[in-house]
């Protein structure tokens, strides 16, 4: 199993800081979230970082967040296609995408088929991530199409995010069992069940992070576990400690059943 560090885990620092921390702490690779930072969009710059730090790019997170709606233009399929090309250029085998927003109806109508067509054409797994309903006070908005939960849909590859399961109130273990071999990618984080997407260090929330890792180890999981925690308010030394703790948690609990 590969344990990678998401560049999102070092925000507001940039991609270079993620590679530096991943190399010093002993992560196996880096997941690059494509953002407005130019280096995250350039295969040459990322390849130079990977070579310098001896840490490969394992996956690309497409710019399908609200905050990255104008990265690589506004056409959603262009964002996916550019992400697949970036992954191919860097030797990464997985692209993580969010499902379409409800106002992207044309994109949503062809999303399941479009994902499958691109996987077949390129050999890159397009792993659709579980999201959550948006909530405010006593109201709930279904913000994603075809659904925020990819489990019952016809995706060949899925990313399971354990902060998102907390926010959605989903049963993470039930999702692991139902997905089976379709579970390609794990975003390792935690959450308390707040309406906010917290991305806590695993073990500091309510999610069965350890049990998920143990279950995947027993099942022979060959995907990638990616640390995706929030360190925005941490000092440099605190950030390093949080990321070291997350890596230790992953290695301990994935190895335990063996």
HSE, CB side, 13 Å, CA atoms: give it for residue 173. Answer: 10
Count of C-beta atoms within a 10 Å radius of residue 78: 12
Residue 227 has pLDDT above 60, yes or no: yes
Residues above pLDDT 90, as percent of the chain: 92
**Res. 129 pLDDT band, cuts 50 70 90:** very high
Summarize pLDDT for 153-179 with one digit per residue, the tens.
999 999 999 999 999 999 999 999 999
- Parent domain of 12: 2-255
The pTM of this model reads: 0.96
Q: Pick the more confident residue, 196 or 14.
A: 14
**Res. 257 pLDDT band, cuts 50 70 90:** low
**Res. 138 pLDDT band, cuts 50 70 90:** confident
CATH of the domain at 179: 3.20.20.150
Q: Give the count of domains, the chain.
A: 1
Cβ pair 240, 22 in contact under 8 A: no
Residue 136 has pLDDT above 80, yes or no: no
Mean pLDDT of 4-33: 98
Residue 258 has pLDDT above 70, yes or no: no
**CA-to-CA distance for 163 and 182, rounded, in angstroms?**
19
Q: What pLDDT, on a 0 to 100 scale, did the predictor assign at position 140? A: 80
* Residue among 171, 254, 191, 193 nearest 219 (CA): 254
Mean pLDDT of the chain: 96
Cα→Cα distances 12→203, 234, 235, Å: 23, 10, 11
Residue 255 has pLDDT above 90, yes or no: no
Least confident of 68-72, 183-187, 224-228: 68-72
Helix (H), strand (E) at residue 161 = strand 158-161
């Amino acid at each position: 199993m590969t344990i990678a560090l998401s560049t999102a885990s070092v925000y507001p620092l940039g991609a270079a800081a993620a590679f530096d921390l991943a190399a010093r702490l002993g992560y196996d690779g880096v997941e690059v979230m494509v953002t407005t930072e130019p280096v995250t969009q350039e295969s040459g710059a990322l390849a130079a970082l990977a070579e310098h730090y001896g840490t490969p790019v394992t996956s690309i997170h497409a710019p399908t967040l609200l905050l990255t709606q104008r990265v690589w233009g506004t056409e959603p399929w262009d964002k996916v296609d550019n992400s697949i090309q970036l992954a191919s250029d860097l030797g990464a085998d997985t692209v993580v995408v969010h499902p379409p927003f409800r106002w992207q109806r044309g994109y949503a109508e062809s999303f399941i088929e479009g994902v499958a067509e691109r996987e077949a054409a390129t050999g890159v797994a397009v792993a659709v991530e579980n999201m959550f309903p948006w909530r405010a006070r006593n109201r709930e908005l279904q913000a994603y199409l075809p659904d925020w939960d990819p489990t019952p849909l016809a995706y060949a590859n899925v990313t399971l995010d354990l902060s998102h399961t907390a926010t959605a109130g989903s049963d993470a273990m039930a999702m692991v069992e139902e997905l089976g071999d379709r579970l390609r990618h794990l975003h390792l984080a935690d959450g308390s069940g707040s309406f906010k997407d917290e991305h806590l260090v695993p073990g500091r929330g309510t999610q069965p992070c350890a049990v998920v890792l143990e279950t995947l180890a027993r099942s022979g999981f060959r995907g990638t576990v990616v640390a995706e925690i929030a360190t925005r308010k941490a000092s440099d030394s605190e950030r390093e400690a949080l990321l070291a703790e997350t890596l230790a948690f992953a290695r301990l609990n994935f190895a335990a059943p063996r």
